[in-house]
Amino acid sequence: MSAFDDARELLNHADGDFATIREAYDASLHAKEVSGNLRVRIKNFVENLRSALDFSARGLFDKYGSSPKGKPKIYFPYAAANQDRATFEKSGRVEACIPGLNASRPDIVKSLLEMQHFGSHGYSWLPDFMDLTNENKHERLTPQIRKESKELRISGGGAAIGLGEGASISLGPGASISIGGAVIRGGQTFGVGRPPRVEGGIVETITWVSFNFDSNGRPVLPLLETALKGCRQVVTELSGK
């Protein structure tokens, strides 16, 4: 098997792991605390995705790289969030991670640049994801914090408006707002903690609940799902070079 085959095998495994993580996530939300089971599954998941990226870099090195070292350490090159394209290129990180690639396939080096957070692929998730794998590998299981946010939603006749926490609307006497078939009469100020009187519509106060990574504030499931999709795109593109 090639290194790219190993990368694809890890991604296939991660697909199944994500479904299990979602179940453990929902259970932890219900319990209002992050279970040890969820933390371990997240740790294994992100490490497998990181390994898939590194295997892809190994696949490139095996095909196009060269090094005077007998067994060079090969990694997927990535830019930190505070690095722009010029700074990253000047750092020589791609050559350090995949020796010889710049001389033999500068076109692939350009592709790797486009995969960074500043590139055309839109991989803004990459620095946060890589930092997350570093923390999981070398420090501790990354903690998650539970966050709640509320939204006031007013709907009627297929139309709706929503107000988040801290937002409010004031209507003077004689004014009104129509939302589909619903009407909000004037003379009232309303927001999340103070729903309005509505004629012919539905008023709901919705509580959104999620776990966020403590290290970067990113919601857990969306980041993991985006990383899974993005890593598969990276492996697919690089394996076709």
pLDDT in tens, 197-215: 999 999 988 777 889 988 8
Domain residue extents for the chain:
3-143+217-239, 145-210
What are φ and ψ of residue 41, in 5° steps?
-65, -40
Mapped onto helix, strand or coil, the DSSP state of residue 108 is helix
Q: How far is CA 125 from the centre of its chain?
A: 5
Mean pLDDT score across all residues of the chain: 92
pLDDT digits (tens, 9 = 90+) for 6-22: 999 999 999 999 999 99
Rounded distance, CA 111 to CA 197, Å?
56
The mean per-residue pLDDT over the stretch 34-48 comes to: 92
Q: Is the pLDDT of residue 142 over 80?
A: no
User: What is the per-residue pLDDT for 133?
Assistant: 87
**Is the pTM for the entire model greater than 0.85?**
no
3-state secondary structure 21-85: HHHHHHHHHHHCCCCHHHHHHHHHHHHHHHHHHHHHHHHHHHHHCCCCCCCCCCCCCCCCCCCCH
